[in-house]
Structure 1
Amino acid sequence: MSENAPAWIVLDIEGTTSSTASVHEGLYDYARPRLGPWIEAHRDDPEVAAAVAETGGATTEETVAILHAWMDGDVKATPLKTLQGRIWAAGFAAGELTAHFFDDVPPALRAWHERGVRLAVFSSGSVSGQRPWFRHTPAGDLTPLVERHFDTVNAGPKREPASYARIAEALGAPPGELLFLSDVPAELDAAAAAGWRTIGVRRPGEPSENADFGAHPVVASFEEVK
């Protein structure tokens, strides 16, 4: 990292640190058949009850149908992310799930951390799902490296500049000292509009491989982040 290193690097997950397939085919497939039973078993849990209410479904069957439709459309709906995150956390704890990270990511996170750059995550996936994702990896427990977690609940939509302003305030750092890494140009645009530094991540085989990143610097590996 250069002398002009950021105070914080904030990471997207899907398509940036980890493959999209590992989420859509791994985590989504794990959560899909478990949504109904999980809702029934945790009706007295305030967070679950609130998420179910937000879907608008009158019955568990209707709620699950709505959640499945959101999953099919890759809708970043907060109630879905909340329920998925709880189910995934249980799956990781039970040893039934293991996170995927691109090979260049864990060494880079460790190197940045050792150099004094602080790390955070901003993902559409819920915070309750982010933490076990970083804890249960083939490269070991990465959670000691990541200080803060943000999602659409505590920060806001990822394509709105106001969300990045909230994160900057929460981190207590000027926007110009924050660097956001993402594979989604619209998210980078929003971060840049809030005064952040940005780098696009163009991973081979990922949905954004051929995306137009405009004026954002672009890397294919975290090894290129200088």
Structure 2
Amino acid sequence: MPDIRAVVLDIEGTTGSMSYVHEVLFPYARARIGEWFTASRGTDSWHAVVAGVRTHLGSPDLDEAGVRSALTGWSDRDVKAPPLKMLQGLLWSSGYADGTLHGHVYDEVPGVLAQWSRAGIAQFIYSSGSVAAQRDWFAHTRHGDLTRRLSGFFDLETAGGKRSAASYAAISAAIGVPAAQTLFLSDVAEELDAAAAAGWLTTGVRRDGDHRGRVVPGHHTVSQLDAGLAVRAG
């Protein structure tokens, strides 16, 4: 592995459990969409979500019922729509605050993050979930608050779609690290392909028991972050 100055990490399936997202977080938010609109109507957050849905759909006059319908439909289909990700982050924040929710990370992750920090390697998160949701996830793990290990967060709003090479180029510009010294870890081949097209180094992650198989096609693959992944600080 060439010298590395920055590692960019995916969350779902890479640093944290895919099943926890789909079986706990998504249903938690989906069940609370209606009550959130009632409780938050007229607030800045309400206006931001409504405006986001209208813009995303190109429907500036869409009423609240139409906005709610769009959000619930996107939730049911797991559409990576930025307004839905914004709302999910707002809803999850309450669950993290009262202890109902926690951010799942695999057991080796805290130690690996600490090791990379000691080596002077900057660490970033890039996920389809909102930046606020990412911060909450890593701040409320069963291993404690891990955000102090992380140098920054990127989402669909701040970087763009994860299957576009332009998004990775945008992150390179934002963090000030050459693409050739940036390593991206993800469980999705198309995301890794896009990062590689932007000149990044890539490693696939496939956790034991993943129904998609043990290898991310076209990429060196590890089963966890402390197994078969040699990262040397640049």
1:110-125 mapped onto 2 (5 Å cutoff): 110-125=114-129
Percent of matched pairs sharing the same residue: 46
Instruction: Name the stretch that deviates more: 153-162 or 38-47.
Output: 38-47
The 4+ residue runs of structure 1 with deviation greater than 4 A are: none
What is the rounded CA distance, in whole Å, between the counterparts of 2:216 and 2:8 in structure 1?
21
Paired with 1:190 and 1:173, the residues of 2 have a C-alpha distance of 17
Distance 1:127 1:64 in 2: 22
Pairing partner for 2:168 from 157, 164, 168: 164
1:223 to 220, 223, 226: 226
Tell me, yes or no, if structure 1 residue 179 matches structure 2 residue 183. yes
* Aligned AA (1:69): G
C-alpha RMSD of matched pairs (Å):
1.8
TM-score by length of 1: 0.92
Give 1:212 deviation, angstroms: 4.5
Residue type of the alignment partner of 2:99? G
Which one of the candidate residues 84, 107, 113 is aligned to 1:103? 107
Q: Where does 1:17-166 land on structure 2 (aligned, <5 Å)? A: 17-56=15-54, 58-166=62-170
Which moves more between the two structures, 71-80 or 182-191? 71-80
Q: How far is the alpha carbon of 1:54 from its aligned partner?
A: 3.4
What amino acid sits opposite 1:29 in the alignment? P
Aligned partners of 1:200 and 1:219 also within 8 Å: yes
Out of 185, 194, 197, which is 1:193 matched to?
A: 197
Q: Residues 15 and 207 of structure 1 are in contact (CA less than 8 Å); yes or no, is this contact kept in structure 2?
A: no
Residue 10 of structure 1: SS of its match in structure 2?
Answer: strand
Deviations for 1:37-89, whole angstroms, at most 9, x for unmatched residues? 22232233334323223334844443333222212222111000000011111
Alpha carbons of 1:74 and 1:33: their partners in 2 closer, same or farther (altered >3 Å)? same
* Pairwise CA distance, 1:13: 0.2
Q: Sort the Cα spacing of 1:40 and 1:193 in 2 relative to 1 into closer, same or farther, 3 A.
A: same
Q: Normalization by structure 2: what TM-score?
A: 0.89
Cα offset, 1:132, TM superposition:
0.9
Number of equivalences: 223
Residues 154-163 or 67-76, more deviating: 67-76
Is the Cα contact below 8 Å between 1:19 and 1:206 reproduced in 2?
A: no
Q: CA deviation at 1:211?
A: 5.8
Bigger Cα displacement from structure 2, 134-143 vs 29-38: 29-38
**Gap runs ≥5 in structure 2:** none
User: Secondary structure at 1:181's aligned position in 2?
Assistant: strand
CA distance in 1, matches of 2:185, 2:6: 11
Residues 205-214 or 21-30, more deviating: 205-214
| 2:125 counterpart SS class | strand
Structure 1 residues without counterparts, runs of 5 or longer: none
Matched residue of 1:170: which SS? helix
2:19 is the counterpart of 1:15:
no
Shift of 1:103: 1.4
Secondary structure of residue in 2 paired with 1:222: coil
Give the Cα–Cα distance (whole angstroms) in 2 for the partners of residues 212 and 95 of structure 1. 35
